[in-house]
Structure 1
Amino acid sequence: MRGRLAATYAAIIVVVMALLGFYLAGVIREFYVDRLAHQLESQARLVSTLVGPMARDATRSAEIDARTRQYGALLGDRITVIAPDGSVVGESSRDQSELGNHGNRPEVIAARRDGVGVATRRSATIGTELLYVAVSRPQDAGVVTRVAVPLAEVNEAVRRVQRDVAIATLIALALVTGVGIVIARRIAVPLEDLSRQAQQVAAGRLDGVVAPAPTRELGELGRTFNTMVRQLRTSRQEIERSRRRLEATLTGLSDGVIIIDEAGVVVRMNASAAKMLGLPIIPDPGQPFMQVARDHELAALVRRTLSLPPTDIHVATIEHSRSRRLIEASARWLISADESLALVILRDVTELRRLEQVRREFVTNVSHELRTPLTSIKALVETLEAGAIDDPAVSANFLHRIVAEVDRLAGLVNELLDLARLESGRLAVVPEVLQSDDLIRRAAERLLPQTEASHLHLALDVDPSLPAVVADRGRVEQVIVNLIHNAIKFTPAGGTITAGAEVEGEFLRVMVSDTGVGIEPEELPRLFERFYKADPSRRSEGTGLGLAIAKHIVLAHGGTIWAESQPQRGATFWFTLPLAPVETRSNGPIGGQSAGQEHLGVHRQAR
C-alpha cells in the first residue's frame, strides 16, 4: 500500500507538471507570436506607406522590387508586395519570378477584407515555419504588403520553457517521491492495520483493537472503528445471551414447541416436541412439518392455521400415530415486521388423562367400598327394626356384623387419611435404631393367623446378625404387613410366603415373596400408583391404596421400593432402609436366634 500511495503521488505530480508544461508552452508561444505579430504589423504598415503608391503602377515593378529588398535588408525580415491581381511585385529574399500567385494566401485574403491578416504556416518556398502579417490600406486599391519572419526563435523559447518545466518536474518528482513515501507510511500503516482488523471483524472475531494513527483524520477513523467493534461485540453478546436464554427456555420446557414458516417448513423444534413426536433426536431445520410430525391430524391442524386469519388459535387433542401419546396441540400465527411464522405448542396429556382415569376408578372403587358396608349395615339395621332385635342370638350376630362393617369403613377412611398425610408430608416419621431381624419377625407374626387361615406357609429368612436400621417401627411394620397381606390375597392355598432381608451397601434390602398368580409385566410400573389394582380378578378386594401407602412410607425413610414378577410364578417385592451408623449398632444377634430360615406357619390341607 505504501508503494502504491507513493507511486500515486508521483504520477499525479508528473501529470500535473506535464499539463502545466504544455499549458505554459502554449501560453508563451501565443504571447511571443502575438507580440511579434504586432511588431510585424507596424513594419508592414511602414513599408506599405512607402511602396503602396508605387505598386498601383505596373510599370514601376522593378523599382518596387528593389526597394522591397532594401527595406528587407534594413529590417532583417522577409517582405513581399502583392499586386491586386495576386502577383508578387516585390520580394526581399527571392526572385519574384519564382513565386506564384499569392492572392489565395489566408493572410492576404484577411488583409484585403479586414485591413490586417495574420497566419502561421510552413513556407513552401523556403521550407521554414514563418509568421506572416499582411496589411492593406484602402487607398492602395488592393495592394498588400506582407512581412514574414521565421518562428525559430519563438519555438526555441518555447522549447526552453518546456525543458525548464521538465527539469522542474524531475526535481518535483524526486521531492514528492520522498515526501510521498513518508506520508504514505503515515497513512498506509494505520490503513493496513485497519484493513487487518476489518478482515478479523468480517471473520467474526471482535476482540481486535486499532491503534489510533497520529494524523487527526485517521486517528478519528481508528477510534470510530474501535467504537463500532465494541458496539458490535456488545450487540453480539446480547444476541448470544438472548439465544442462550431462549435455548435454555425451550430446552427446559416440558411442553413441545415447534416454529414453522409460511411454507410449512420447520424452523425450530425443542427436545420435548421431538420426544412427543417419537423422534430420537431433534431434526435439522428446513424439513417439511408433515415429514417431521408423521401425523395427519397434526398436519391438518397446521394447514388450517396457515390458511386462516392470524388472529385465530386452533386447538386439537390427538393420539399421535407414532409415539402413541395423547397430545393437546395448539397452533397460532407469530407476526413480526419482516416475517410471519406459525407457533405450534404440544402438551403431553397422556399422564393427565391416565390420572383422570385413575381418579374415576378410585371414585368408583371408593364408592363401591363405601356402598358395600353401608348397604350391609342398612340391611342389618332394617332387619333388627323388623323384629329380629327381640331374638337375642340373631341380634347379637347382627350387631357383631354391624361392628365388623363399621371397622371396615374405619379402616378405609384411615388408609385415605394416611395416604393424604404421606403425600403432603404431614405424617410424622419417628426414626429409631431397630434390630433388623426383630423388626421383620414382629411384622410377620402379626399376619400369622391369616396365613394359617388361608392354608399358607409363612417363612422368615432373616439372619439375626444383620445390622440395625434407622426406621419408624410402626410405619415399616405397616409396609411389611401390607406386602404380606397382598401376598396372602393372591397366593392359592398351599403356597408359600417368604419374608427376608440382606445388606446391600449402606442399605438393608427387605423382601416379601410369594408363589401366587404373579403380575403381568405391563402392570409392574403402575403397581405403586394410588387406587391402582392390577388385573380384574383382584378388583373385588381392597381399594388399591396399600402399595401406594407403602411406597410413600419407604420414600419418607430415604429408601426405594419395587416389584419383580412373572405371571403364574409368583411375585417378589423389595424395599430398602438405611442402615444405622456403625457406632449405634449392637454387636451380635439378639435373643440367641440362629441364622437361617424359620417357618412361622405350618401348612394345613385345604378342606
Structure 2
Amino acid sequence: MNSFRTRLTLIMITLIGLSVLTAGLFMGKTFKNNHLDALEDNMVREMKIILDRMDWREGRPDALYSYYTQEAIRLRDITDSRVTFINGTGVVLGDSDHDPQTMDNHLQRLEVQEAEKSGVGRTIRYSETLNQNLLYVAMLVDPDRPETGIIRLAISLQEVDESIARIWTTLLIGLLILFIVAVFISFRVARGLTRPLEQITRVSKRIKNLDYRARVTVKGSDEISELGLAINAMADGLQIQMERIHQNESQLASVLDNMIDGVVMIDRNGRIVLLNRCAEEMLGFSSRELVGRDYVEAKQQYELLQIIQHGLERREHLREEITFYFPEERLLDLNLVPIIQDDEFGGVLLVLQDVSAIRRLERMRSEFVANVSHELKTPITAVKGFAETLLGGEVDDPETARSFLQIIFDESDRLNRLIGDILELSKIESRRIPLQFSPVELTSFIGKSIKLMSAEAARKDIEVTLKAEPGIYVEADEDRLRQIIMNLLANGISYTPDGGHVTIVVKPVAGTQYVSEGEDYDQIHISISDTGIGIPKKDLPRIFERFYRVDKARSRGSGGTGLGLSIVKHLIELHKGSITVESTVGAGSTFTIILPVLQ
C-alpha cells in the first residue's frame, strides 16, 4: 500500500507540475504578446503623428535622400526609435541610423509586405549591428495609395526581454512555491485516500485468513467509506454464514461420532475422506491413519476391499454381510451407496452396521422357540402316550392305572409350571410387571424363605444356614425378592447331594468395603452357596439363558423348567442390581446378588 501511495503521490505531483508549467508558459506567452501589441499600438500612433506633422515628398530617390535622412534623425531624437522612410518600390529614402544609399531594397521585408497588404506590418528580427532583437512596425503613408511609400519604426526589445525575464523569474518562483504547496497537499490528499484503503486491505487480508470478526472503521460518507461499509456488510454476512457452517459441521460431526453405525466416505479416486468414531472401532484404525489415504492402505480383509472396488467401478448399491476378525470378531452388515453430486459420480458411502447382537438375538429366539416346542412336547407326549395306554385297556388294572394317572398328573403339573414360567418371563422381559418397593428387613425375610424350603431340604437332609446381622434393610419388591431367593435356594437344594449344605450370607457394603453393624451402607450383597455338583467353566457364561441346562437329564428329572435363573436375572435387573456366579466342579457354586439399598 505504501508503493500505491507513492505512485498516487507521483501521479498527482506530475499532473500538478504539468498543469503549473503549462499555465506558466501560457501566462508568459500571453504577457509577451500583450506587451508587443501595446508597443505596436504606441508605435502606430507615433507614426500617425509623424505623418501628420511632416510633409511627405515624392520624386527621384537621389533628390530625397537628404530630406528624409534629416527628418529620420530628428524624429529619432524625439521618439527614441529608429526611423526609416521607404518609397513604394522598396528603396530606402532615409534612415536614422544608416546611410540610405548603402541600404538594400526593403520591398521583401516581412513588415513591409504585411503593411502593403493590411496597412500595418510587424516583425521581430535580430540585429547583427546592435546584437539584439528589434521590433519593426511599418505603416502605409497613404492607405488609399500603397505606392506612395512606407514609414517604419524600430525599437530595441532588450528592455522588453529583460522585463519578460523578470516576469519569468517571478513566475517561476511563484510556480515553484505553488508546486511545493501542491506536493504537500498532494501527499496529504494521497495519504487521506490511501490510509482508509490500507485499512480496508488489512481487513480484507484478515477476512481472507478466516478472521471474520475484522471490521473497517468508517469515517465520513464518501465513496471509500461506502466501500468500507460494503466490506463490513460482506464480513457480517460471511461471519453469519461461517457460524452456520461451523454449527452444521459441529452438528454433523456430533451425529457422525454418536452414530451406532460406522460411516466411511471414499471419493472417486479411492481416497478416504471421512471416518466416524464407530467405524474406527469396527475397522481398528484411527481417522488420522486413514483420512486422505487410499482405501487399499486399510489393511482389512480381502472381501471388504473387493466390495469397495466393485462399488467404485460399478457405481451401484451393494450390500453384504461379512464376519470381521480384527480388531474383534463381529458380524457386520455392509451397505455401499454411490454418491451422485450434480449428476456426477463423487465416490461411495460405506455404512457398517454391527449385526452380531441382532443375529445372536435371532438365534436365541430360534433356540427359544425350539426349546419351548421341545419342552412342551415332552410332557404332552407323555400324557398322550399314557392316556392312550389306559384307553387301550390298562385302565382295568387298578395298580397300573393309578401309576399311569400319577404320571399324567405329574407331567400336567410340569407342563403347567412351564407355561407359567414362560408367561412370567415374557412379562418380566417386556417390563409389564409393576414393582411395589418397600423397606425389607433381610434377616427375617430370608429366614421365612428358608422355612418355606425346609421340607425340601429336610427330604434330602440338607442343612440351610443363614448368616446375617439383624437390622439390615433394603428397598425392594417383597414378592419379587422372595421369588429370587426361593429360586436360588431351590437350585442349591436340587443340585446338592443328600447331606450337603446351603449357606446364605448377607453383608452391607459401602463403596467396595464391607461395613460393620451401625455403619452407613449403600449396597447389599446376598451370597447363596451350596456344596453341590458345581458348574463347568465353559457353561458359566450361559447359565442365565433361557432353557439352558448344565445337566439336562437331572434338571428335567428334578422338575426344573430351565427358566428359573433367567427369571432371577431379569428380576434383579429390574431392581437395578446384578448377579454373579462362581463355581468349582464337584465343590459347589456361589451366587452373589448385589442390590442398591435405595431405589
- TM-score higher than 0.5: yes
How many residue pairs get aligned? The number is 564
Letter in 2 for 1:507: Q
Q: Cα distance 1:395–1:208, how it changes in 2: closer, same or farther (>3 A)?
A: same
Q: 1:255 aligns with which of 261, 264, 267?
A: 261
Structure 1 residues 485-494 or 256-265, which shifts more? Answer: 485-494
The equivalent residue for 2:379 is 373
The equivalent residue for 2:175 is 168
Aligned partners of 2:569, 2:480: CA distance in 1, in Å? 11
Aligned partners of 2:534, 2:198: CA distance in 1, in Å? 87
Please state if 1:479 is matched with 2:494: no
Aligned partners of 2:299, 2:371: CA distance in 1, in Å? 39
The equivalent residue for 2:140 is none
Q: 2:184 aligns with which of 177, 192, 201?
A: 177
Q: 1:361 aligns with which of 360, 363, 367?
A: 367
Q: Following TM superposition, by how much is the alpha carbon of 1:384 offset from its aligned partner in structure 2, in angstroms? A: 0.6
Q: Cα distance 1:351–1:491, how it changes in 2: closer, same or farther (>3 A)?
A: farther
Aligned partners of 1:128, 1:536: CA distance in 2, in Å? 147
Please state if 1:16 is matched with 2:19: yes
Please state if 1:510 is matched with 2:515: no
Q: Following TM superposition, by how much is the alpha carbon of 1:519 offset from its aligned partner in structure 2, in angstroms? A: 4.5
TM-score norm. by structure 2 comes to 0.71
Q: Following TM superposition, by how much is the alpha carbon of 1:32 offset from its aligned partner in structure 2, in angstroms? A: 9.1
5 Å-filtered alignment, 1:271-282, equals 271-279=277-285
Aligned partners of 1:184, 1:338: CA distance in 2, in Å? 52
Q: Do 1:258 and 1:269's aligned partners in 2 also have CA atoms closer than 8 Å? A: yes
Aligned partners of 2:391, 2:213: CA distance in 1, in Å? 97
Q: Do 2:382 and 2:411's aligned partners in 1 also have CA atoms closer than 8 Å? A: yes
The equivalent residue for 2:318 is 314
Q: Do 1:211 and 1:222's aligned partners in 2 also have CA atoms closer than 8 Å? A: yes
Aligned partners of 1:237, 1:570: CA distance in 2, in Å? 65
SS in 2 for 1:364: helix
The equivalent residue for 1:559 is 577
SS in 2 for 1:318: strand
TM-score norm. by structure 1 comes to 0.71
Q: Cα distance 1:456–1:572, how it changes in 2: closer, same or farther (>3 A)?
A: farther
Letter in 2 for 1:318: I
Aligned partners of 2:230, 2:310: CA distance in 1, in Å? 51
Aligned partners of 1:527, 1:127: CA distance in 2, in Å? 139
Q: Cα distance 1:498–1:289, how it changes in 2: closer, same or farther (>3 A)?
A: farther
Q: Following TM superposition, by how much is the alpha carbon of 1:21 offset from its aligned partner in structure 2, in angstroms? A: 3.7
Task: Please give the per-residue CA displacement for 1:405-442, whole angstroms capped at 9, x wherever unaligned.
Answer: 11111111111111111122222333343321232233
Aligned partners of 1:405, 1:161: CA distance in 2, in Å? 140
Letter in 1 for 2:259: L
Aligned partners of 2:96, 2:456: CA distance in 1, in Å? 166
5 Å-filtered alignment, 1:97-246, equals 157=164, 160-161=167-168, 163-171=170-178, 173-174=180-181, 177=184, 181=188, 187=193, 190-191=196-197, 193-246=199-252
Please state if 1:462 is matched with 2:443: no
Structure 1 residues 183-192 or 161-170, which shifts more? Answer: 183-192
Please state if 1:423 is matched with 2:441: no
Aligned partners of 1:552, 1:476: CA distance in 2, in Å? 12
Q: Do 1:120 and 1:131's aligned partners in 2 also have CA atoms closer than 8 Å? A: yes
Aligned partners of 2:491, 2:131: CA distance in 1, in Å? 141
Q: Do 2:579 and 2:591's aligned partners in 1 also have CA atoms closer than 8 Å? A: yes
Q: Do 2:504 and 2:529's aligned partners in 1 also have CA atoms closer than 8 Å? A: yes
Aligned partners of 2:536, 2:125: CA distance in 1, in Å? 129
Please state if 1:520 is matched with 2:537: yes
Letter in 2 for 1:479: I
Q: Following TM superposition, by how much is the alpha carbon of 1:445 offset from its aligned partner in structure 2, in angstroms? A: 4.3
SS in 1 for 2:576: coil
Q: Cα distance 1:170–1:400, how it changes in 2: closer, same or farther (>3 A)?
A: same
Aligned partners of 2:326, 2:205: CA distance in 1, in Å? 50
Q: Cα distance 1:569–1:342, how it changes in 2: closer, same or farther (>3 A)?
A: farther
Contiguous gaps of at least 5 residues in structure 1: 40-65, 80-90, 96-106, 112-117, 134-146, 582-607
SS in 2 for 1:379: helix
The equivalent residue for 2:594 is 576
Aligned partners of 2:455, 2:383: CA distance in 1, in Å? 26
Aligned partners of 1:154, 1:544: CA distance in 2, in Å? 137
Structure 1 residues 213-222 or 326-335, which shifts more? Answer: 213-222
Report 1 or 2 for greater relative contact order, CA contacts < 8 Å, sequence distance ≥ 6.
1
Q: Following TM superposition, by how much is the alpha carbon of 1:566 offset from its aligned partner in structure 2, in angstroms? A: 5.9
Q: Cα distance 1:441–1:497, how it changes in 2: closer, same or farther (>3 A)?
A: same
Aligned partners of 2:381, 2:573: CA distance in 1, in Å? 37
The equivalent residue for 1:83 is none
Q: Following TM superposition, by how much is the alpha carbon of 1:230 offset from its aligned partner in structure 2, in angstroms? A: 1.8
The equivalent residue for 1:533 is 548
Q: Cα distance 1:125–1:279, how it changes in 2: closer, same or farther (>3 A)?
A: farther
Aligned partners of 1:210, 1:196: CA distance in 2, in Å? 9
Q: Following TM superposition, by how much is the alpha carbon of 1:35 offset from its aligned partner in structure 2, in angstroms? A: 12
Letter in 1 for 2:348: A
SS in 1 for 2:580: strand
Q: Do 2:332 and 2:355's aligned partners in 1 also have CA atoms closer than 8 Å? A: yes
Q: Following TM superposition, by how much is the alpha carbon of 1:351 offset from its aligned partner in structure 2, in angstroms? A: 0.4
User: What is the percent sequence identity of the aligned residues?
Assistant: 28
Q: Cα distance 1:422–1:130, how it changes in 2: closer, same or farther (>3 A)?
A: farther
Q: Following TM superposition, by how much is the alpha carbon of 1:22 offset from its aligned partner in structure 2, in angstroms? A: 5.2
Task: Please give the per-residue CA displacement for 1:229-274, whole angstroms capped at 9, x wherever unaligned.
Answer: 2212211121122112212211221111111111111111211111
Q: Do 2:272 and 2:294's aligned partners in 1 also have CA atoms closer than 8 Å? A: yes
Aligned partners of 1:221, 1:233: CA distance in 2, in Å? 18
Aligned partners of 1:19, 1:372: CA distance in 2, in Å? 125
Q: Do 2:371 and 2:547's aligned partners in 1 also have CA atoms closer than 8 Å? A: no
Contiguous gaps of at least 5 residues in structure 2: 43-68, 84-94, 100-109, 115-121, 138-153, 511-521
The equivalent residue for 2:87 is none
Q: Cα distance 1:441–1:169, how it changes in 2: closer, same or farther (>3 A)?
A: same
Q: Do 1:213 and 1:219's aligned partners in 2 also have CA atoms closer than 8 Å? A: yes
Structure 1 residues 460-469 or 349-358, which shifts more? Answer: 460-469
Q: Following TM superposition, by how much is the alpha carbon of 1:175 offset from its aligned partner in structure 2, in angstroms? A: 6.2
